[in-house]
Homo-oligomer: A and B are copies of this chain.
Amino acid sequence: MFGHVMDDLSPAEVEAAAKLYGPLADRVRELVAATVLTEVDGPDVAKAIELIREATALLGSAAIEGSFGVRWTIDGKRRTWGNAVVGLRNPVAPPLDIRHDEEQTYADVVLGPQYEGPPTLVHGGIIAAMLDQVLGDAAVNAGAPGMTGTLNIRYRKGTPLGPVRIQAAVDRVEGVKTYVTGQVVVDDVVRAEAEGIFILPKEVRNLGDNPPPGLLAPGD
């Protein structure tokens, strides 16, 4: 599908790339938080802008065109490193490190000031974004992936900035539709809950009964 790219990278090369670009994105995340909170004056802002412009020019001297897309390696692994919620190398992403156990799919993350909506609380839209991602990944993990069809969210209480758990589990699969539920939890209290329906796209259905594993993944 459009935007899927096959890279001629070995597993070792992929690991090296993660170790190179992951810490870079972490440093930019720190800069993002500092930008939200800074109170320095004009001359210092001007100096910071000069440093940032220089870093941007340096990074831009060799770059992928368009967007990162989804990149595949020769051993059939996929990388969604540009993804806005889980992307290892995307400073907009917290990023979520999504895991699975026998009962559920979940992520524990600490959200900084750049995710604020109401004062001291996580933005409702960021909560929606994290739920979309974790619910979608639960569908993938259950072997029933899909694009988000509908996502219904109920906000029960404010979610404070800081440590947050997002969790989800597949409720049922009906044909091409996977029904998933999930919650955002802080201090053992459910702050928001969601129901999502994830639908296998027509393009993938046409590949037959067994689409290649991993063709769809979190964020799709």
Contacts and interface: CB of A to CB of B under 8 A. Distances in A.
A204 to B, nearest CB: 11
User: How many copies, total?
Assistant: 2
Contacts of A2: 119-120
A59 B82 contact: no
Contacts of A158: 147
A61 B25 CA distance: 21
Interface string A64-88: 1111111000000000001111010
A83 B116 contact: yes
Interface string A87-126: 1011110000000000000000000011111111101111
A139 interface: no
A36 B90 contact: yes
B39 A62 contact: yes
B119 A4 contact: yes
A55 interface: yes
10 contacts: A3-B119, A24-B48, A27-B53, A31-B55, A40-B62, A82-B113, A85-B123, A90-B116, A123-B129, A128-B151
